[in-house]
Amino acid sequence: MADRYLSFTGTAPGRFLTRRFGLPQPAPLRRWSPEHPALDGDVLHLTAGRTELDLPSAGMTLVTAAERPAAVVLDATGVRDVDALAEVHAALHPVVRSVAASGRVVVLGTAPDPADHHQAAAQQALEGFTRSLGKEIGRGRTVNLVRLTDAAAAGSTLRFLLSPRSAYVSGQVIGVGTGTGPVTAPDDPDRPLAGRTALVTGGARGIGEAVAGTLARDGAHVVVLDVPAAEADARRVAERLGGTALALDITAADAGARIADALPDGLDVLVHNAGITRDRRLVNMGADRWSPVLDVNLASVVRTTDALLAAGAVRSGGRIVATASIAGIAGNAGQTNYGASKAGIVGLVRSLAPRALDEHEVTVNAVAPGFIETRMTAAVPLFIREAGRRMNSLAQGGLPADVAETTAWFAHPASGAVNGQVVRVCGQSLLGA
Ligand SMILES: NC(=O)c1ccc[n+]([C@@H]2O[C@H](COP(=O)([O-])OP(=O)(O)OC[C@H]3O[C@@H](n4cnc5c(N)ncnc54)[C@H](O)[C@@H]3O)[C@@H](O)[C@H]2O)c1
């Protein structure tokens, strides 16, 4: 369903009217394309506090002064007490206006230290700062906080955040370096997943189709799994991407074993994307609506993950990416079943991630989409749909490609130190903020 309001506000009368009546003014976002793979311009590198950080190269030119930077990276890892927060203000206040449209602000911090309340107060302050700046900065610009434990392992994360690939990721706090997963530079940076196999559940359409396409772009052989009723679509997607289709209902008790049988050499990237909704308020929700949602969205994810890890089917250096939702973070009327299933994904990811890394050298993360333009959201009644689209800092819905790019960043061989993270792809939705 096209966002006609976004097209309208791009016209001169649209700009005039929306300004006149104080209506949301979404800026067209600049997303990745082969012709436009990078942000145009310099990355302004600023510091606050006494830092010892050696910033990993993110493939962009870092400068210490720029008239119209494409991005600003503020190294605030040296902010160890509340007084040093003045340096955050002093660094960003003069330059924030000059950041280009669809530009980026990335704040680098460290984890708040439970043993040092001065440091913890200052570092936690960066979170409120980041989220507030994200809400006011406008013009399609995003603001995110990266908490570094191992700065050397942050290259893939900075490359993602400082690129058009992260267009719809804003207001996020991302931890890097909490584990010790292998961080491997790919032989071909344009095809980082070359030689790897990725399986995407629910890959026949919507977000899953976009994820399969993006992983194939990055060089992976993709296996497009979907229910037997969607087999024709799954085959069409797989053929287009040079991959294979697998017709399988992921809720089957033996789904894990059947995936392992279909992929005797194992797999490297497992994307749990299949999901359904069966909305009703709890008073009107029979078990016929509760059970399938819990089964597809959560129980089958737990079952197949357990089965594939136990069978050693996810190769060392592998990646598991599950799909949560802002409804699992904020809750949503009429979605007790869906909200429960998606919050369950968050619990699963946080608990399993350290063990999967220790025992299998596999990372486990989740994307939590907000309002994404798909058939699922096109079916939402007009007014609720319009509210969903606008109630975020970028005042527009995201595209399946936005979720796909975030998945590709998790899947990247150099993202081994990104583990146990739940990253919302929601344009900084006001829901669950
Ligand atoms: N669209 C959004 O705004 C949004 C927001 C938050 C989260 N999500 C989540 O993103 C994921 C994809 O959403 P979408 O909008 O692309 O949905 P969609 O309905 O367009 O596609 C879902 C796909 O999953 C498949 N599927 C369903 N049950 C399955 C099963 N038992 N076994 C195998 N495949 C199955 C469907 O056949 C379909 O191809 C879901 O997990 C959804 O909950 C979407």
**Does residue 394 contact residue 166 with C-beta atoms inside 8 Å?**
no
Mutate to test the pocket of ligand 1, among 214, 376, 399, 425 (most ligand atoms within 8 A of CB): 376
Q: Is the pLDDT of residue 383 over 70?
A: yes
- Above 60 in pLDDT, residue 316? yes
Average pLDDT over residues 177-192: 83
Provide the pLDDT for residue 151: 81
Q: 247 forms bridges with which residues in the sheet?
A: 226
| 120: confidence class by pLDDT, cuts 50, 70, 90 | very high
Q: pLDDT digits over 195-222, tens only?
A: 999 999 999 999 999 999 999 999 999 9
Higher pLDDT, 301 or 385: 301
Write the DSSP assignment of 7-52 as a string of letters.
Answer: HHHTSHHHHHHHHHTT---PPPP---BTTB-S-SS-EEEEEEES--
Q: What is the mean pLDDT of residues 182-201?
A: 92
Q: How far is the CA of 315 from the centre of ligand 1 (A)?
A: 26
In the chain, DSSP finds a helix count (H) and a strand count (E) of 15, 13
* pLDDT for residue 311: 97
Contacts of 337 by beta carbon, 8 Å cutoff, 6+ apart: 278, 285, 289, 290, 293, 294
pLDDT over 60 at 384, yes or no: yes
Residue 378's pLDDT is 87
- pLDDT of 2 above 80: no
Please give the average per-residue pLDDT across 305-321, as a whole number: 97
Q: Which residues are catalytic, by number? A: 338
Per-residue confidence (pLDDT) for residue 179, from 0 to 100: 65
Instruction: For each of the domains in the chain, give its residue range(s) and CATH number, in order of start.
Output: 31-176 (3.40.50.720), 197-425 (3.40.50.720)
Judged against a pLDDT cut of 70, whether residue 191 lies above it is answered with yes
Mean pLDDT of 74-82: 97
**Most informative mutation of 225, 235, 259, 276 for ligand 1 (most atoms within 8 A of CB):** 276
Q: What's the full length of the chain, in residues?
A: 433
Q: How confident is the model at residue 420 (pLDDT cuts 50, 70, 90)?
A: very high
pLDDT at 100: 96
Q: How far is the CA of 296 from the centre of ligand 1 (A)?
A: 9
HSE-CB of 400 using CA atoms within 13 angstroms: 21
DSSP state of 412: S
User: Mean per-residue pLDDT for 3-19?
Assistant: 76
The pLDDT, as a whole number, for residue 60 is 74
For ligand 1, atom 1, which residue shows the shortest CA distance?
372
Whether the per-residue pLDDT at 433 is higher than 60: the answer is no
- How would residue 150 be classed by pLDDT, with cut points 50, 70 and 90? confident
Flag whether pLDDT at 432 surpasses 70.
no
Q: Which atom of ligand 1 is nearest to the CA of 326?
A: 6
Residues 6+ apart with CB under 8 A from 196: 219, 220, 221, 268, 269
Span 111-119, mean pLDDT?
97
Atom of ligand 1 nearest to the CA of 295: 31
Mean pLDDT of the chain: 94
pLDDT in tens, 32-43: 999 999 998 999
Protein residues with CB under 6 Å of any ligand 1 atom? 201-202, 204-208, 226-227, 230, 249-251, 273-276, 296, 323, 325, 369, 371-372, 374-377
Which ligand 1 atom is the nearest neighbour of the CA of 230? 37
**Does residue 365 register a pLDDT over 60?**
yes
Average pLDDT of span 367-375: 94
Residue 91 has φ and ψ, to the nearest 5°, of -75, -45
Residue of the CA atom closest to atom 20 of ligand 1: 206
pLDDT attached to residue 180: 63
Q: What is the pLDDT of residues 212-248, one digit of tens each?
A: 999 999 999 999 999 999 999 999 999 999 999 999 9
Look at residues 352, 338, 340, 373 and name the one whose alpha carbon lies nearest to residue 304. 352
Measured by CA distance, the residue closest to atom 19 of ligand 1 is 376
Structure confidence at residue 185 (pLDDT): 86
Q: Which two tokens stand for residue 268?
A: 């490297």
Atom 25 of ligand 1, nearest CA residue: 202
Under the banding of pLDDT at 50, 70 and 90, the label for residue 1 is low
Give percent of the chain above pLDDT 70: 98
Question: For residues 154 and 407, is the Cβ–Cβ distance under 8 A?
Answer: no
Is this model's pTM higher than 0.85 or not?
Answer: yes
Kindly give the distance from the C-alpha atom of residue 215 to the centroid of ligand 1, in angstroms, as a whole number.
Answer: 17
- pLDDT for 218 equals 98
Q: Which atom of ligand 1 is nearest to the CA of 233?
A: 39
pLDDT at 12 over 80: no
